[in-house]
Amino acid sequence: MNSAVFSFLSDFVFLLLLFIQIPSSLSDDDLFTACRKEFVCGGISAGFPFWGADRPPACGIPELELKCDENYIAKMNISQVAYRVLKIYQNSPILRIAREDYLVGLCPPQLENSTFNPKIFEAYEGNIYFTLIYGCEDASANMYEGTFSCKIKDVDGQSGYIIEGEYGPGECNGSVIVPVSDFPPGWNTSVFEWDVAAFEVRLKTGFEVRWKVDMDLCGECSTSRGVCGIDNDTTQTTCYCPNQSSGSKTCALPAPGMHCTEISL
């Protein structure tokens, strides 16, 4: 290979690498701009660790995607169960959510427990778990007093029961475990075994769950004028900075006085 051809190939490879790197740097700037935006839907707004709508996946934890429906209602899926987002607390890692399938009654089309990835969520201490048991044809003498009727497997009028605690269906067709929040101090939760209507109202008001994300890093990132996101390669929290590559905990701040203008009075 003569020197002219070698020189041409070297220049070509250099230019190719240069153009490959340009989209990467532009992408970092785009993510900085995108992740500065908040998810807004109805009365719900959220930044990191959530993503959705104008916030791309790199702006939040994969399991914390928010969606906004045509009625401006915020929703999210957790372990294949759809929830309505009722509130995101700004100063604490707590969500208030309600199961979509129980907003219209106690007979959902699919019987799915409320389960949460322990790496992302932790139980809220104010929650009490109840089990809804479906399709019991013959209730024994000591069966639960909180009864309702559902259509199970195309059969109308099959009895359902509510009991405090976490149980399986036993000899019945199925069961669903759901958390309920906000009981007054000293409240006797067994009242729900006799008051199905009160239980339905409590399901509609939702329950609270904590999300487990270390936000200390985001505080440092924000102080350095960056925005938090998720590095797709490492799946770790990262700091997106203007005109800088991601992958660091903070942005490189300009030297003191570099962008300041002295004003004489």
Asked whether the predicted pLDDT for residue 106 surpasses 80, the reply is: yes
Beta strand 237-240 with 207-211: parallel, antiparallel or unpaired?
Answer: unpaired
**Of 262 and 62, more confident:** 62
**Of 141 and 69, more confident:** 69
Instruction: Tell whether 195 is covered by a domain.
Output: yes
- Select, from the ranges 34-38, 88-92, 190-194, 217-221, the one with the highest average predicted confidence (pLDDT): 34-38
Q: Which residues contact 40 (CB under 8 A, 6 or more apart)?
A: 53
Asked whether the predicted pLDDT for residue 264 surpasses 70, the reply is: no
Instruction: Tell whether 106 is covered by a domain.
Output: yes
Instruction: Tell whether 237 is covered by a domain.
Output: no
pLDDT of amino acid 75: 97
Instruction: Tell whether 204 is covered by a domain.
Output: yes
Tens digit of each residue's pLDDT (9 = 90 or more) over 228-242: 999 878 888 899 988
Span 68-90, mean pLDDT?
A: 95
- Select, from the ranges 19-33, 43-57, 123-137, the one with the highest average predicted confidence (pLDDT): 43-57
pLDDT of amino acid 159: 79
Asked whether the predicted pLDDT for residue 179 surpasses 90, the reply is: yes
pLDDT of amino acid 157: 60
* Whole-angstrom Cα Rg for the chain: 26
Instruction: Tell whether 250 is covered by a domain.
Output: no
Q: Which long-range contacts (CB under 8 A, 24 or more apart) does 229-237 make?
A: 229/31, 229/35, 229/48, 229/58, 229/59, 229/60, 230/57, 230/58, 230/59, 230/60, 230/61, 230/62, 231/58, 232/57, 232/58, 237/213
Instruction: Tell whether 190 is covered by a domain.
Output: yes
pLDDT of amino acid 2: 53
Instruction: Tell whether 56 is covered by a domain.
Output: no
Tens digit of each residue's pLDDT (9 = 90 or more) over 36-72: 999 999 999 999 999 999 999 999 999 999 999 999 9
Number of domains within the chain: 1
Instruction: Tell whether 42 is covered by a domain.
Output: no
Query: What's the pLDDT band for 205 if we cut at 50, 70, 90?
Result: very high
Span 172-178, mean pLDDT?
A: 90
Coil/strand/helix, residue 33:
helix
Q: Which domain holds residue 115?
A: 62-211
Q: What is the pLDDT of the chain when averaged over all its residues?
A: 79
CA 81 to chain CA centroid, Å, is 12
Residue 32 CA to residue 59 CA, distance in Å, equals 9
Query: What's the pLDDT band for 214 if we cut at 50, 70, 90?
Result: confident
Query: What's the pLDDT band for 137 if we cut at 50, 70, 90?
Result: low
